[in-house]
Amino acid sequence: MVLQQLVNALTLGAIYSLIALGYTLVYGILAMINFAHSEVLMLGAFAALGLATILPAAFGTGALGLGGMFVVSMLGAGLVNVIVERFAYRPLRHISRLAPLISAIGVSIVLQNAVFLWLSTQSLSFPQPVEIKQIPLGGGASVSSLQLVILGAALALMALLHFWVEKTKMGKAMRACADDITTAGLMGINADVVIAVTFFVGGALGGAAGVLYGMNYGSIKYNLGFLPGAKAFTAAVLGGIGNIRGAVLGGFILGGLEVLASGYIPNGAQWRDVIAFTVLILVLLVRPSGLLGEKLAEKV
Amino acid sequence: MSGLLRSRGTAWILIAAALALPFAAHAAEFPYLVRVGGIVGLFMLLGLGLNFTLGYVGLFDLGFIAFYAIGAYTTSIAMKAHVPAPAAILLAIAVTVFARLLLGISILRLRGDYLAVVTMGFGEIARLTINNMDWLTNGPKGMQVRPWRPLAFLAKDPNVQFYLLIVAAVLAGVAATRRLEDSRVGRAWVAIREDEVAARLSGIPVREYKLLAFTLSAVFAGLAGSLFALWEQFVTPESFVFWESVLVVSIVVLGGMGSISGVLLGALILAGVPPLMQATLSAEWINYRYLFFGLILVLVTLFRPQGLLPSSRREAELTS
């Protein structure tokens, strides 16, 4: 039972972590809540479904299908995020803190309704490129091949992100911009390019999370992004927004909390979101900048 | 332009127009217009309330609709217990203010976006709790509210009665907000928004003033929620979803933070246009209303980032 819960918690936590990374990357560099990230996630899932519908023969099932879905959804979601940044956020970057947020809310509504109007108003079943097998773990617990794929893909992407941020020149430029965007500009870093790349990476992670979400739940809908988006944002804040390791930690904690609440508390499934948000508030009351967040200096 | 809008004459013309709306709706055989007017009025109240927190002090609140919900449900439960309606309204305001005070005491030391996410969390907690506490709130099925007919001597149609009551509430709210804005308290709030450290060093008790603004905003939310419940005679948790909080934030920011006329205009556009489009567009275009709504939000923000009618103080800062 405990082992089974742990497997479920890790799977759910992996998806939340990937989404939370998209919020935290953008926040780290622009101190802005990318409200449209939940729609980027949804578009990623739809891009993968589109590929599987157009090319069922070549990409329907198996490792090739899986890989193709990830590539298409990550490229698509990353590009959407870059375009949104260029036209809806960049003109407002130096004006006020709240203007980009309102613009992001508008973008979110537009994207959701565009899918609602022109693609589908109903749930669509999501293709299953992995053959589902239960692998027993002993003690009555088991892990499905699907859960393994979700965990493996999420961890691989996180490792890739870690490598990119820590070891590449662009990653270094991104860290410099997150530290102090004006000084980074003075050192010859093109902040506009770095921000665009950050949005692409964040969007690509969101798109991948959309595919994992679709595979995990088996169907997708135009409004699927909102709930996991809001929760993953919560997870990012829990870990300390702007902090990459914090987002991953927050995502897994949130996944764990939800599974624990549904598994061990009477009527827990009904109350699990209440419990998750209550824990968030309590954590922030004790640690106002999240678990791994740096203490912000007072504005002087 | 903004000078004209702030003049006393314009204010009287707008009040006259608001009072003439039921006659116009009657003449045009379009009674739905009165309902739209009432909805806009409720969102004007919510916008005026959030303006204290977001506009004057700059505290970012993404869960404001929770207090609208608390006002609405307190009223519904009180009406079920056979409390007279006016007393139910006052009770709703008191409960809402008390809830907001408790939340404010515990979370106001959080800064910026952390405050935003905690208020968002509180909004979801409130909605889900209402949804799950079947014994008190009848859960997702919603609650019937005992009918109440205010201002029966003025109009027969209950929609018109509530419309006039809401207009009166908005006018009272605007008058109270204006008095506060120009007072010592109002100036202290703006000082905190502009520079908290400088305000503290000038002797302003920052914590107390923030809490005051945060709590006062609940008077408006509680009143609006209460009127909503009495008017609709039915409340469900579905009316208090996160998007409604986002809508109120958008009303304040789009209209112009800290500007009363801006908030009123923001509510008129954002709360009035979608139901009007729903009523007037042909069936094939109805589904496009939210797409247009989102586009309006993006375009107005891009071309008027300071808001449609920014407060004169803010406008001076942004253009200098």
Q: Mind listing the pLDDT tens digit for each residue in B281-310?
A: 877 777 788 888 899 889 988 998 888 888
pLDDT score at A298: 46
Does a structural domain hold residue B93?
A: yes
Confidence label for B264 from pLDDT (cuts 50, 70 and 90): very high
Does a structural domain hold residue B233?
A: yes
With beta carbons under 8 A apart, name residues in chain B contacting A20. none
Closest by CA position to A124, among listed A49, A234, A177 = A49
CB contact, 8 Å: B232 with chain A? Answer: no
The one-letter amino acid code at B193 reads: R
Chain B interface, best mutation among A102, A103, A285, A299, by max B CB count within 10 A: A102
Residue carrying structure tokens 């699990």: A272
Residues B128, A274: C-beta atoms closer than 8 Å: yes
Query: How much is the average pLDDT of B89-105?
Result: 97
Residue B72 has pLDDT above 80, yes or no: yes
CB contact, 8 Å: A279 with chain B? Answer: no
Does a structural domain hold residue B231?
A: yes
pLDDT score at A121: 86
Can you name the residues that pair with A220 across neighbouring β-strands? A124
Out of B60, B114, B306, whose CB is closest to A237? Answer: B114
Measured distance CA(A232)–CA(A20) in Å, rounded: 5
Domain ranges of chain A: 13-224
Residues B301, A114: C-beta atoms closer than 8 Å: no
**Of all residues in chain A, what percent carry a pLDDT higher than 70?**
96
Chain B interface, best mutation among A27, A90, A97, A110, by max B CB count within 10 A: A110
Measured distance CA(B254)–CA(A108) in Å, rounded: 16
With beta carbons under 8 A apart, name residues in chain A contacting B199. none
The one-letter amino acid code at A214 reads: G
Does a structural domain hold residue B12?
A: no
- If you average pLDDT over every residue of chain A, what do you get? 89
Query: How much is the average pLDDT of A226-237?
Result: 90
Query: How much is the average pLDDT of B192-220?
Result: 94
**pLDDT tens string B147-204:** 999 988 888 889 999 999 999 999 999 999 999 998 999 999 989 988 889 999 999 9
Query: How much is the average pLDDT of A9-33?
Result: 93
Burial B74-110 (b: 16+ CB within 10 A, else e): bbbbbbeeebebeebbbbbbebbbebbeebbeebbeb
Enter the pTM of the model.
0.90
Out of B195, B294, B302, whose CB is closest to A109? Answer: B294
Q: Could you give the ipTM of this predicted complex?
A: 0.85
Q: How far is A205 from chain B (nearest CA, A)?
A: 22
pLDDT score at B286: 76
Measured distance CA(B296)–CA(A251) in Å, rounded: 34
Closest by CA position to A72, among listed A80, A248, A87 = A80
Q: How far is A300 from chain B (nearest CA, A)?
A: 6
Contacts 24+ apart (CB under 8 A), A282-288: A283/A238, A284/A237, A284/A238, A284/B107, A284/B110, A284/B114, A284/B117, A284/B118, A285/B106, A285/B107, A285/B110, A288/B109, A288/B110, A288/B111, A288/B114
Residues A113, B118: C-beta atoms closer than 8 Å: no
Q: How many domains does chain B have?
A: 1
Q: For residue B235, what are the domain limits?
A: 27-241
With beta carbons under 8 A apart, name residues in chain A contacting B305. 92, 95-96, 99
One-letter-per-residue 3-state SS of A198-245: HHHHHHHHHHHHHHHHHHHHCEECCCCCHHHHHHHHHHHHHHCCCCHH
Can you name the residues that pair with B234 across neighbouring β-strands? B144
Confidence label for B318 from pLDDT (cuts 50, 70 and 90): low
Tokens of A149: 């794929």
**pLDDT tens string B132-141:** 999 999 999 9
pLDDT score at B296: 86
Tokens of A253: 């904690």
| Backbone dihedral angles phi then psi of residue A144, each to the nearest 5 degrees | -85, 155
- If you average pLDDT over every residue of chain B, what do you get? 90
The one-letter amino acid code at B319 reads: T
pLDDT score at A241: 87
pLDDT score at B315: 62
Confidence label for A57 from pLDDT (cuts 50, 70 and 90): low
With beta carbons under 8 A apart, name residues in chain A contacting B125. 274, 277-278
**pLDDT tens string B22-69:** 888 888 888 899 999 999 999 999 999 999 999 999 888 999 999 999
With beta carbons under 8 A apart, name residues in chain A contacting B287. 113, 116-117
Handedness of CA B87, B89, B93, B95 (dihedral sign): positive
Half-sphere exposure of B28 (CA within 13 A, CB side): 11
pLDDT score at B29: 86
Paired sense of beta strands A124-125 and A219-220, if any: antiparallel
Does a structural domain hold residue B199?
A: yes
**pLDDT tens string A113-147:** 999 998 888 899 998 877 788 888 877 788 888 99
Confidence label for A292 from pLDDT (cuts 50, 70 and 90): confident
State whether residue A142 is helix, strand or coil. Answer: strand
With beta carbons under 8 A apart, name residues in chain B contacting A102. 249-250, 253-254, 297, 301
Residues B290, A113: C-beta atoms closer than 8 Å: yes
Residue A299 has pLDDT above 50, yes or no: no
Does a structural domain hold residue B304?
A: no
Closest by CA position to B10, among listed B264, B287, B279 = B264
The size of the A-B interface in CB pairs under 8 A is 125
With beta carbons under 8 A apart, name residues in chain B contacting A34. none
Residue A221 has pLDDT above 90, yes or no: yes
Q: CA A119, A122, A124: angle at the middle one, nearest 5?
A: 80
Confidence label for A93 from pLDDT (cuts 50, 70 and 90): confident
Measured distance CA(B25)–CA(B14) in Å, rounded: 16
